[in-house]
Amino acid sequence: MSPRTEKQFKEIREEKKERILQTSLELFADKGYDNTSISQIAKNAGISKGLLYNYFESKEEVVITILNKGIDEILSIFDPNHDGILEPEELEFLIKEQFRILKKKRSFWRLYYQIALQGSVFKYVSEKIDQLYKPLMIILIDYFKKMGFKNPEMEVMIFMAILDGISLDYVMKPELIPLVNIEKELIERYCKTGKNS
């Protein structure tokens, strides 16, 4: 058997790192961050505790990595062409992708809301969120202004509160939230030209 190449070692390392992150995400979402130990993560990931520390310095670093990856994914769907101007089809894409990701990654969102409500770890990613929040708000306000809403600043707050509320409700009781119908309603309300409120 020939020795592994540098590329193979890198692939193995990435695979193990992803396994640790996915295992941690599931444990954190099910048991809570504070109730999950590094030993449990290592055991469930099928690796030794010592090996886990080769990938992450602490449980805190693991959860911060998970949260940052999830936040980056959401931010990547906002203003896809990165021109600072939101068009109706881009907002429609954002709404559809938000709900697709919510359904596909319910464990991440369960963890996100748990951490956001606890605050002890959320402070490590809140700075990143705050840095990105203002530019996003400006883009959304400009969009709602262009779409003819009478009070675009308030409409942005309502829009964001709707997305947050739906996401939290879906995480708690997915069977009670008709995402498809809500998605259609939000697209009708916010993505159709000439809409006045």
Give domain limits for the chain.
1-56, 60-191
Position 6 scores a pLDDT of 79
The CATH class that applies to domain 60-191 reads mainly alpha
pLDDT in tens, 58-93: 998 999 899 888 888 877 777 777 788 899 999 999
Neighbours of 137 (CB within 10 A): 14
User: Between vectors from CA 159 to CA 154 and to CA 161, what angle results, nearest 5°?
Assistant: 95
- With a cut of 90, say whether residue 4 has pLDDT above it: no
The CATH class that applies to domain 1-56 reads mainly alpha
pTM of the model as a whole? 0.77
Is there a contact between 40 and 27 (Cβ–Cβ < 8 Å)? yes
